[in-house]
A = this chain, B = another copy of it.
Amino acid sequence: MSASCFDLPPDTGFGPENLPYGVFSTEPGGRRRVGVALGDWVIDLSRLDVPAVDALAAPSLNPLMARGPRTWAALRARLERLVCDPEICDAVGAHLIPLDRVTLHLPFEVADYVDFYSSQHHAENLGRMFRPDSAALTPNWKHLPIGYHGRAGTVAVSGTPVIRPSGQRQPAGGGPVFGPSQRLDLEAEVGFVVGVGSQQGTPVRVGDFAAHVFGVCLVNDWSARDLQSWEYVPLGPFLGKSFLTSVSPWVVPLDALGSARLTPPARDPQPLPYLRDDAEPWGLDLTLEVRLNGELLSCPPFREMYWTPAQQLAHLTVNGASLRTGDLFASGTVSGARRDQRGSLIELSWGGTEPIRLADGTTRTFLEDGDVVTLTASAPGPDGTRIGFGEVTGAVRSAP
């Protein structure tokens, strides 16, 4: 990788080794099209002479994602040259737009949304809190990546207001009551976006992960813990999650994460053959940051996730379920072993029993109206560079 032709901030996560894709417009109601982030600019791809240019004038990444890995690689190779080769990078210079002058939109049309539960630390923490009389992990947890379907229609781009949901909760010892959630939480997650679909009846093997998955984004799976704990037995989370799921506006190509791949934690017991990943480990060395009103609360380490996204995809399809372009599957809350690595407030405040003290002197157990939550992340790039993921942020508004 050469240096960019353009002056980039020294600490940028959007260097020429990243080139994440998004969808932007330059005026209200204006034309949405595909762009790539470079430093503090967005490159208007629809104006360049690049492969698949017809797909880049679309208002979502879906047409590009549907083309498949050969097109993705050809486009990426061309973009790397365009931003790094002094003989041709003038062609890009004319189509750089400052990021602060564009509006970023939901980058892809979400087909189905699946949320996994693949951090052992998170699952153990929640098991202890929700089911104190049972083992922290359910008997199936180390045999399969537990997951469930979420609401695709309420996946929204970073910046979408988080309207506090109302619903039923059950105060200790009484019947249920209705009202605004009193235990509104964040969940710091990593999302994987499917580009190439699959046929009904044909599972996607662990080794075929990169043939289907286009890229990676950040996900905040907002959760109303009081609604969730009352409703979730026996069919799982529903209204406690479905009011909003926020994603970052940038999708980092899988090809940008070569330097971030690592061997995931050892699995014990050995999983069933369709989940074995020794030949194709997809552990990823991402570190997330969770900020509340600008203050860093925790740094969840994705590298500690028990199940990798390649195993999640293999599991998701092993029953013959088909994939579509735009399917989003998220990792589940990323939490590490240490307290300052926990990816949700319910863990950080231990179910509300250990309030978090903030720099302004206030405390939090769960989110208050007006609170702003921002997730960021970075991963190692080639040659000591850093791959950034932008941010996913949201401000809590009071219940209507």
A residues in contact (CB < 8 Å) with B: 111-112, 114, 117, 127, 130-131, 138-140, 143-144, 146-154, 156, 163, 165-168, 170, 175-178, 200-203, 224, 227, 230-240, 242-244, 269, 272-274, 315-316, 318-324, 327, 400
* A168 and B143 within 8 A (CB): yes
* B146 and A321 within 8 A (CB): no
Contacts of A148 in B (CB 8 A): 148-149, 235-238
* B154 and A322 within 8 A (CB): yes
Contacts of A274 in B (CB 8 A): 178
Contacts of A315 in B (CB 8 A): 239
Complex Cα distance, B117 from A144, in Å, reads 25
Contacts of A238 in B (CB 8 A): 114, 146-149
Complex Cα distance, B272 from A149, in Å, reads 27
* A227 and B319 within 8 A (CB): yes
Specify which of B150, B176, B227 is in contact with A149 (CB 8 Å cutoff): B150
Contacts of A242 in B (CB 8 A): 149, 316, 319, 321
Contacts of A138 in B (CB 8 A): 233-234
Given A144-B176, A149-B149, A153-B327, 11 more contacts at CB 8 Å? A149-B242, A151-B321, A154-B200, A154-B321, A163-B201, A165-B319, A166-B320, A178-B272, A201-B400, A235-B237, A242-B316
